[in-house]
Amino acid sequence: MIGSIRDTFDSVRPSGGGRSTYVALTIAVLIYAAAIFSLPLLQPDEQMAIGLLLLVPGLLIGVYVITRAIFGDRLSGTIVAVACIFVSAGNFRARAYDDKSIDLQVGVKLLALMLLLVTAGVFLGYAFNRLRFGRLFYAWLVFFACLVASALYSVSIPFALMCSISFVVCYIYAVYMTVWLTRTRALEIMIVAALLMCVGSIFVYFAIPSMGRMQAWTGEAGMGDTGRMKGLTGSANAIGMIAAFAIIPAILYYREFSAFGRKAAFLLIPSAIVSLILSGNRSSMIAVAIALWFSFVFRSGTSIKLVLSITAATIGGVVLLGFSDEIFSLLSRSGKADEITSATGRSMIWTVVIELCRQRPLLGYGYTSALQILPLDPRLFHVAAHAHNMYLELLFAGGVVLLGLFAYATFQTFLQVYRLRAVNEGALFVFFLIRGLTEAGPFGGMTGYTSIAFAVTIALLVSKDIDAQRRASVTRPLTATRGAPRLRPSRA
């Protein structure tokens, strides 16, 4: 996006990046396809030998693509980004809820995080002195730094440090995607990763119910299948969030996408709607509806649209007051109105969290400490590992200091939304604020799709702010910009 950054990357990366990457991938696909078709004809020992033989070129091709991605090749960067996000979001094995040991899947996720770290570090090393990062970038960077600082007094310091530092990595990597890979491609990456998650989750929901469906405790039947889809993620709310978030850019940015991006968005929307419905994640459903409403109202003709919205909300409120029990019973999964009025049991969790926060109001208990503290409270239950509210989660983790920094960064975000007229980006950010009323994500623990999506939302505005400053600098008199690097026009 920025000319000086592109020049630097162009000077260190090999020429003909996209074409050579396509050739390498085509050769790899042909070799592996031939091997797969020949395997049934071989003996077991021969099959193992073929597998080990194919592992070597596979690793070499992987190293080649990863290296090109680190040094700025857009095609390789896109492939690596989709793969890392998919691996970070996925849960490809079943184990006990309280089993937090490091296995092969956790190891692969850590490798993906290390790859993001290296890419973000290389990008930041080249870009930091060449880009004019605005106040928004530093406001969120200070917030994430405070998140890392709160991990130093957490109940589980190593785990908290890993989670908080990985969030900083996701933030810088998101800026890399929006600045270098371009904003539209960054969103296309999120859509493709969500498409893979949704399609895979629908498959396992019907083909492997023990893996694809949520297991939970009910007072009537004990532990059993709830019918809610969790798919390739760890919970129904996680796949619901992925599906809901991806729907927003697929609709709002459809015209800006490339031909490939439009095809991916076209395939995503129906699969995401099915995943969202099967997950039963009502908070994500409400959040995506409000986000799309925000985009519709604040794009043009805001005054009349607000009047109509307030009128409709008033009528809806009157109807709700008159038939609250019937409506809440209809919306609940159990048919009981108190399921909605208690926010599916969250009101008790919120009461306990607020009471504990009063004991440490300034700095809280440390990042991710809710995972170790809340399940042990006798008033709660074993799986109540989060505050189930993003704002209370931050208050519990870092006290009023961390929550205050989040509020300041949020103010700066909306300030940039207004200044840059970034309605679509504002809608994405509103999605997280609304969903955060009933969910702790993206600040619940290990980083995944939710964390990266949140970081990308901020990075979209950071990238637009960089572009705005660039345009302002090139319109100044020559004497005011003498000696400054020449900047090329950017594309969204």
Of all helices (H) and strands (E), which one includes residue 229? strand 222-229
Residue 225, helix vs strand vs coil? strand
pLDDT at res. 395:
94
Nearest to 239 by CA among 199, 293, 292: 199
Q: Count of H helices and E strands in the chain?
A: 20, 2
**Residue range 58-85: average pLDDT?**
80
* Whole-Å CA distances, 401 to 396, 397, 408, 436, 446: 11, 10, 11, 19, 22
* Whole-Å CA distances, 373 to 59, 353, 365, 366, 396: 42, 10, 9, 11, 10
| pLDDT at 454 exceeding the cut of 90 | yes
Nearest to 211 by CA among 191, 193, 235: 235
| pLDDT at 46 exceeding the cut of 70 | no
| pLDDT at 8 exceeding the cut of 50 | no
Q: Which amino acid is at 357?
A: C
| Cβ count near 339 (within 10 Å) | 16
44-48, 295-299, 325-329: which range is least confident on average? 325-329
**Residue range 304-324: average pLDDT?**
77
| pLDDT at 478 exceeding the cut of 60 | no
What is the spatial distance between Cα 235 and Cα 357, in angstroms, rounded to a whole number? 27
More reliable by pLDDT, 441 or 41: 441
What is the spatial distance between Cα 263 and Cα 246, in angstroms, rounded to a whole number? 14
pLDDT at res. 28:
66
Residue 323, helix vs strand vs coil? coil
Nearest to 176 by CA among 214, 128, 135: 128
Contacts of 358 (CB under 8 A, 6+ apart): none
Contact between 239 and 204 under an 8 Å Cβ cutoff? The reply is: no
Residue 304, helix vs strand vs coil? helix
What is the spatial distance between Cα 65 and Cα 21, in angstroms, rounded to a whole number? 7
Q: Which amino acid is at 6?
A: R
| pLDDT at 255 exceeding the cut of 90 | yes
| pLDDT at 99 exceeding the cut of 90 | no
Contact between 474 and 205 under an 8 Å Cβ cutoff? The reply is: no
CB contact burial 379-414 (16+ within 10 A = b; e otherwise): ebeeebbbbbbbbbbbbbbbbebbbebbeebbebbe
Structure confidence by residue, pLDDT tens digits, 135-172: 999 999 999 999 999 999 998 898 899 889 999 999 99
pLDDT at res. 108:
78
pLDDT at res. 140:
95
| pLDDT at 191 exceeding the cut of 80 | yes
| Highest mean pLDDT (candidates 20-24, 372-376, 422-426, 466-470) | 422-426
pLDDT at res. 241:
94
| pLDDT at 488 exceeding the cut of 50 | no
| pLDDT at 55 exceeding the cut of 80 | no
More reliable by pLDDT, 129 or 144: 144
| Residue 213 β-bridge partners | 229
Nearest to 245 by CA among 431, 91, 446, 443: 431
What is the spatial distance between Cα 476 and Cα 364, in angstroms, rounded to a whole number? 47
**Residue range 76-87: average pLDDT?**
87
What is the spatial distance between Cα 26 and Cα 399, in angstroms, rounded to a whole number? 53
Q: What is the CA radius of gyration of the chain?
A: 24
pLDDT at res. 231:
85
Work out the burial of residue 271: count CB atoms within 10 Å of its CB; fewer than 13 is exposed, 13-18 middle, 19 or more buried.
buried
Contact between 164 and 192 under an 8 Å Cβ cutoff? The reply is: no
**Residue range 56-75: average pLDDT?**
74
Interhelix angle 449-474/423-435, nearest 10 degrees: 150
**For 145, which DSSP code?**
H
Q: Which amino acid is at 368?
A: T
Q: What are phi and psi of 227, to 5 degrees?
A: 85, -10
Contact between 228 and 280 under an 8 Å Cβ cutoff? The reply is: yes
| Highest mean pLDDT (candidates 197-211, 249-263, 304-318) | 249-263
Nearest to 297 by CA among 283, 312, 282, 285: 312
Contact between 116 and 80 under an 8 Å Cβ cutoff? The reply is: no
Structure confidence by residue, pLDDT tens digits, 103-115: 567 777 888 888 8
